[in-house]
Amino acid sequence: MDGREVVSTKVFRIAEALAIRSFGQHWSAGAHGALWKNTFENTRSAAGFGPMLEYSLFPYDEYTRRQLRVSYRLELRHMRYVEETLFEKAEEGLWREEVEVNLQRREPWGSLEGELDLSHYLHDLGKYRVELRVEASLRLIQGLSLNLGAEGSRVRDQLSLPRRGATAEEILLEQRQLASGFRYEANVGLTYTFGSIYNNVVNPRFGN
């Protein structure tokens, strides 16, 4: 910018653990934990853990053909921020809950996937997020598919936004998350697959 050299560095690291126990062909329960750092979201360090529960309308052994799963996650988070937030927090503990509905259908003509994600913080129900994603893959010839996708979200839960405004360099280089009420995108592409697309799928529970 203006002949000046600007160095841009963003850091994102995450480690996750998941334990799942199946209770028949329709129910699963488990626990999750994660540690992460994300300078783009003003997060110096964070930790989250909690229980999960899932119900599958169709038996799990039909996952390669069809799925309709509803999962619930409760999470306790401890957040430490790089800079003080808009809400004058340097660190805080938060309870968050999330409900996810996932639909997948595979047919000879291709596949269809949809996901609805609802989440909010328990201390303030006005701090919520709604995300919807839809993807379709249309089989053209053996192995070659046309992919169509769209997703959008209503964002009201940006608790980590820094108190100070973003600089021109931070905006231009996407160094900092900006306040946003809506997000949306769409994509079109082609994929060619060798062998079975299900070779790496070993456990459909909780989207794994």
Q: Which residue, 11, 29, 12, is CA-closest to 20?
A: 29
Q: Report pLDDT for 175.
A: 74
Spans in the chain with pLDDT lower than 70? 1-8, 173, 195-203, 208
pLDDT score recorded for residue 142: 85
Residue with tokens 């979200």: 153
In the DSSP assignment, the letter for residue 139 is E
Encoded tokens for 196: 């079975």
Instruction: For residue 117, give both structure tokens.
Output: 């994600």
Which residue in 22, 33, 43 sits closest to 205, CA to CA? 22
Whether the CB-CB separation of 22 and 207 falls below 8 Å is answered with no
| Per-residue model confidence (pLDDT) at position 203 | 67
Q: What are phi and psi of 61, to 5 degrees?
A: -75, 0
Closest CA to 69 of 98, 118, 102: 102
pLDDT of residue 164: 86
Does the predicted model carry a pTM greater than 0.75?
Answer: yes
CA torsion sign for 19, 24, 25, 29 is negative
Structure tokens at 124: 């303030």
Q: Which residues pair with 50 in a beta bridge?
A: 32
The structural domains of the chain, ordered by start, are 12-207 (2.40.160)
Residue 160, Ramachandran bin (φ over 0: left; ψ between -120 and 50: alpha; else beta)? alpha
Q: Tell which residue, 32, 35, 33, 42, has the closest CA to residue 10.
A: 42
Residue with tokens 């028949």: 24
Calculate ∠ Cα 185-186-187, nearest 5°.
Answer: 135
Query: What distance in Å separates the CA atoms of residue 164 and residue 82, rounded to the nearest whole number?
Result: 12
State the pLDDT at residue 80: 97
